[in-house]
Chain A
């Protein structure tokens, strides 16, 4: 299946005008690579090579590594519940389990399944944006009062029966609203630039392997990389 590829923008004057994309019959993983008709200028080539960091193939590689790091065991294993001995069986057969309990115990759902269910059941619960939220909560308060929590207006009101104090802001009880849900609670990407490390020794990775895109720091690590870790065959 042909895929559409965005060619890197180059500053050179002799580059293509108008269209900056081209059809290619390569699979998406390979579409951004050195196999394109190579540009005449070194600069264009460099730009294409840099694009590797943002390519889908690279992203897949990173994602695979991240999910690898989230595993409990290196290999997939199934550890069954041990057979109960006589002593333990006593409290197990204490009563017959209810329908709900049987359902919960037999469920083989993973967390991902539950998350998908949650999304399917409540699709439209949009999280308030930070802008909205700030507008809501600061609406009743003058913009000029910079205060800490002990000033009278935000004074904690303690109820008579000993329940914890309620914090008031501009006459409204402070309320964070309902939970956002798993997917929306994740923190946004960092504003800082990504740092690159040598994949061999962990020092700054200032150079990049021309064959596979891996980072390394010096000729020593480059030699090690080419000898052992370069996966040029798979690209």
Chain B
């Protein structure tokens, strides 16, 4: 079939280095991946197009880019699955990372995040003479996380990193989960404490983008939620994120709906002067726009049923 690739180009050495789109019309086979098509461009049409690729089998993690606005591993993405009705495909470098040239992103901020979680096993005590004994289910579960190929797709499309570059982000925190979940690692407490700091597990906004774009089914957001549970269980609840979670849960559990006034008070603490001043401004703006939540919080009629749901779920744990 004939397709048009719309590729965002960027040449840092040009006189006016600004990105621009370039159209390539080419014929592709039915089985072609977007990577096959890009390679065809590079080899037959325009040798100056820069991209990274190697394995062609979704394991080396080199070829993450944005296809039609979302991060994809292009060796895993068939052209016919992403071409629109006019047989066009848009290809851009990943988001949330600086661009080196064309489709090549600067991965340094990505690797820096991974390094920041102390991504290596920290056992204590003497090593056993043979292997550590471990349940196979645990190893298989960790294999699901270690399937991460560090391609950067989740970081590219993370909506929290977009507004705050300090967030460790999905890939690094999924990597962190792999150690906390590993029975051989003895640094769980210090890890959970570290991951509970600002920029850590509580900065995820649960938008699900990382789960959607991950080409390996790692589901980073689910791992971050797992870390949150473990952090609270380990007693690291003296932070905004954990308090927010607890206040949210309490409110729903007792009244069946969210007490929007109480939530920020419990999250930040009434005596947190700076936060309270900031909140009062938000409250004022809400009042001016007629969006103030009810002062007196009322329970919903079926609150007992909600309570029973909680009992059921919590009993199961």
A binds B: no
